[in-house]
């Protein structure tokens, strides 16, 4: 036990703490405020507090727990809402009301709730770390697989079946040369340390989000990394909400890192009411929420990022596909800058610490498709929003994030102001996963999917160049083909790329529907190119019926899209017959 001798906001200096180690948690003052040792200086320790230190006095005691910040992992995570240091906010609300007082503590996982454990191993089986020994039904759509904790291996001496709490023994493993080890459903894992795996595998399956501009033009792989930089009001949070709601990941971990309270409250109120398009169940039955809003202590933002990725890795180790959405990592970087300044470290660019790029890279490197210790294949995809001041992505956080990620969804303020959502700019965005996913597309989608995608990209690029020319010479001076490209480009932008997140039908679009919409657009374009090549003027081509049907196509329900597609293709086939 030591004593506080200096306080500077969330930074506490103390002396007399025995056996102090870097990153160990401490309890500060009479209220037991949680903090973490971030620097050792001879007999002095420097601690960052994860809570407000108002009222803490010099001379108060400080006690080390001799443990690093660790996440509790076990049944009960799904459907829960935690703060940055994994305190359940619903339990705190019951105790404290709306505002969290400094020093408030709450157990992350319910110790009293009984779970029906069903073993998948039997007495005498040999197991190693990461092997599945049984499961519990955590929600109606998720089986929570109970894994042998890291460092344990041997013969199962006893395994039980029935109702147990997370702290009760469900199995006993006889380890060679060691005493028997009791296995429980709860584990603890230090959040700053990546969980062990056997092997990283190449990402070769797309993460289907239901957003056309993403899935068709700039796809992300399961196990991949993506950045969403954008100025205020460009729709970063809406894009992340849509991915969280509709992506085909098995588990969603959503981290609101420094988000405004009203945006987090929208997540908390809408997610339980939304139905998963795959299962028909509530989205909360496959979701973990971590809420570290902007009015909560700034230092807990860093903890919330690591807590989220540790929970995500835990479910990945069960063989699930997990998507972690962090909104926004800029506020995490701002917390690093604040602490670095209080530590009087040498500042880097724009005052950020010199190790900013390293921290960001370490975070995104925890993504990937892996062979787990239990020989399962799991994936963890990480999507991080970045909030550069004024939308300037040349600032350090954006640049460090772009170096660490392989997908760039560039949000455009001009598109957002013109009410085009998602406001992902199709000229400046990119995905480095596209070549890796082409084999999957060839096996699972019609053969011309890739050709249609590339033709759409080409038309959009040509349209942008032609529009620059129009500013100089005017629309009437364009060739007939250029006029057609302008028309088709507008159709791609308005009838395909633009998507209404608040429309019951258009909010989600399957790959089948995406293909059919893009197919009709390109089919009509090619039909009109053929007519123009024969000398027909664009204003002579009567395509109103086909144009109208294509414009309505995104609002057609999934169950009716196949029939509507056939009728639209018939309408396209009649274009030019009257010429």
SS3 for 368-386, per residue?
EEEECCCCCEEEEEEEEEE
With CA atoms as reference, report the closest residue to 227 among 49, 383, 454.
383
Q: Quick one: the chain helix, strand, coil %, rounded to 5?
A: 35, 25, 40
Structure tokens at 213: 């501009």
| Per-residue pLDDT, 579 | 67
Q: Which pLDDT tens digit goes with each residue over 491-512?
A: 999 999 999 988 999 999 999 9
pLDDT of residue 89: 84
Q: 463-472: list long-range contacts, CB under 8 Å, 24+ apart.
A: 463/488, 463/489, 463/490, 464/427, 464/489
CATH code for 445-573? 1.10.1140.10
Residue 557, SS3 per DSSP: coil
Residues in the chain with pLDDT < 70? Answer: 98, 295-299, 579
pLDDT of residue 519: 97
Tokens 């062990």, residue?
Answer: 196
User: From CA 287, how far away is CA 245, in angstroms rounded?
Assistant: 9
Please name the residue that has the structure tokens 């795996």: 197
Query: What pTM value is reported for the model?
Result: 0.93
- Where does 191-344 show beta strands of DSSP type E? 199-201, 225-229, 251-257, 287-292, 321-327
Give 355-393 pLDDT, tens digit per residue.
999 999 999 999 999 999 999 999 999 999 998 888 888
- CATH 2.40.50.100 assigned to domain 115-190? The reply is yes
pLDDT value of position 31: 87
Q: Which of 117, 165, 123, 168 is nearest to 143 (CA)?
A: 117
Burial class for 430, CB neighbours closer than 10 Å (0-12, 13-18, 19+): middle
Confidence (pLDDT) at 297: 67
The pLDDT score that the predictor gives to residue 223 is 97
> Is the domain covering 2-68 a CATH 2.40.30.20 domain?
yes
Strand positions, DSSP E, 138-247: 143-147, 154-159, 162-164, 169-174, 181-184, 187-190, 199-201, 225-229
Strands 2-8 and 61-68 come out as antiparallel
- Residue-level pLDDT at 563: 97
| Cβ neighbours around 150 below 10 Å, total | 14
Whether the Cβ atoms of residue 61 and residue 36 lie closer than 8 Å to each other? no
Q: Which of 312, 353, 296, 304 is nearest to 328 (CA)?
A: 304
Token digits of residue 284 = 């909360």
pLDDT of res. 276: 78
Q: How many whole angstroms separate alpha carbon 549 and alpha carbon 368?
A: 41
Domain boundaries, the chain: 2-68, 78-94+198-431, 115-190, 445-573
Angle between helices 396-404 and 329-342 (to 10 degrees): 120
Length of the chain: 579
450-469: string of b/e by CB count within 10 Å (b at 16+)?
A: eebbebbbebbebbeebeee
Q: Do domains 2-68 and 78-94+198-431 have the same CATH topology?
A: no
Taking the C-alpha atoms of residue 97 and residue 325, their distance in angstroms, rounded to an integer, is 28
Q: Residue 93's pLDDT is what?
A: 78
Sign of the C-alpha dihedral computed for residues 260, 261, 265 and 267 taken in this order? positive
Separation between Cα atoms, residue 564 and residue 392, nearest integer Å? 43
Per-residue confidence (pLDDT) for residue 119, from 0 to 100: 96
Fold for domain 78-94+198-431?
A: Rossmann fold (3.40.50)
| Angle value at C-alpha 192, between 322 and 360, nearest 5 degrees | 75
């Amino acid at each position: 036990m030591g004593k506080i001798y200096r306080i500077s906001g969330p930074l506490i200096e103390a002396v007399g703490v025995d056996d102090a180690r870097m990153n160990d948690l401490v309890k500060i003052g009479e209220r037991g405020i949680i903090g973490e040792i971030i620097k050792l200086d001879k007999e002095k320790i420097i601690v960052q507090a994860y809570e407000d230190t108002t009222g803490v006095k010099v001379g108060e005691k400080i006690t080390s727990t001799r443990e690093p910040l660790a996440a509790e992992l076990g049944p009960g995570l799904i459907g829960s809402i935690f703060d940055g240091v994994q305190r359940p906010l619903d339990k705190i609300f019951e105790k404290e009301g709306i505002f969290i007082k400094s020093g408030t503590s709450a157990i992350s996982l319910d110790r009293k709730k009984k779970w029906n454990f069903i073993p998948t191993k039997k007495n005498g089986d040999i197991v190693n770390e990461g092997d599945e020994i049984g499961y519990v039904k955590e929600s109606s759509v998720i089986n929570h697989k109970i894994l042998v904790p890291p460092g344990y291996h041997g013969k199962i001496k006893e395994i039980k079946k029935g109702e147990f709490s997370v702290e009760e023994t469900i199995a006993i493993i006889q380890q060679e040369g060691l005493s028997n080890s009791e296995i429980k459903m709860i584990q603890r894992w230090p959040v700053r340390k990546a969980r062990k795996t056997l092997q990283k595998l190449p990402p070769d399956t797309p993460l289907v989000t239901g957003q056309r501009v993403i899935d068709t033009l700039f796809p992300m792989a399961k196990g991949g990394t993506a950045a969403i930089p954008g100025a205020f009001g460009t729709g970063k949070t809406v894009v992340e909400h849509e991915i969280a709601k509709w992506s085909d990941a098995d588990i969603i971990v959503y981290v609101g890192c420094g988000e405004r309270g009203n945006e987090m409250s929208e997540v908390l109120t809408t997610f339980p009411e939304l139905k998963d398009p795959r299962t028909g169940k509530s989205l909360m039955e496959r979701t973990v929420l971590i809420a570290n809003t902007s009015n909560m202590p700034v230092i807990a933002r860093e903890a919330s990022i690591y807590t989220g990725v540790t929970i995500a890795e835990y479910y990945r180790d069960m063989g699930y596909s997990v998507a972690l959405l962090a909104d926004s990592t800029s506020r995490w970087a701002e917390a690093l800058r604040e602490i670095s300044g209080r530590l009087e470290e040498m500042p880097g660019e724009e005052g950020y610490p010199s190790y900013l790029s390293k921290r960001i890279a370490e975070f995104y490197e925890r993504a990937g498709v892996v062979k787990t210790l239990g020989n399962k294949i799991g994936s963890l995809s990480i999507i991080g929003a970045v909030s550069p001041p004024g939308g300037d992505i040349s600032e350090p956080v954006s640049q460090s994030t772009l170096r660490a990620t392989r997908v760039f969804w560039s949000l455009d303020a001009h598109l957002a102001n013109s009410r085009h959502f998602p406001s992902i700019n199709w000229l400046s965005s990119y995905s480095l996963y596209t070549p890796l996913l082409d084999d999957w597309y060839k096996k699972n989608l019609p053969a011309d999917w890739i050709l249609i995608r590339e033709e759409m990209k080409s038309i959009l690029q040509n349209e942008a160049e032609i529009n620059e020319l129009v500013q100089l010479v005017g629309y009437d001076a364009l060739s007939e083909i250029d006029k057609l490209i302008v028309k088709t480009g507008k159709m791609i932008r308005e009838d395909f790329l633009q998507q209404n997140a608040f429309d019951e039908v258009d909010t989600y679009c399957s790959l089948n529907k995406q293909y059919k919409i893009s197919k009709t657009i390109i089919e009509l374009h090619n039909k009109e190119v053929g007519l123009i090549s024969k000398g027909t003027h664009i204003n002579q081509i009567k395509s109103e019926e086909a144009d109208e049907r294509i414009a309505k196509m995104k609002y057609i329900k999934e169950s009716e899209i196949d029939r509507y597609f056939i009728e639209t293709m018939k309408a396209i086939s009649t274009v030019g017959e009257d010429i």
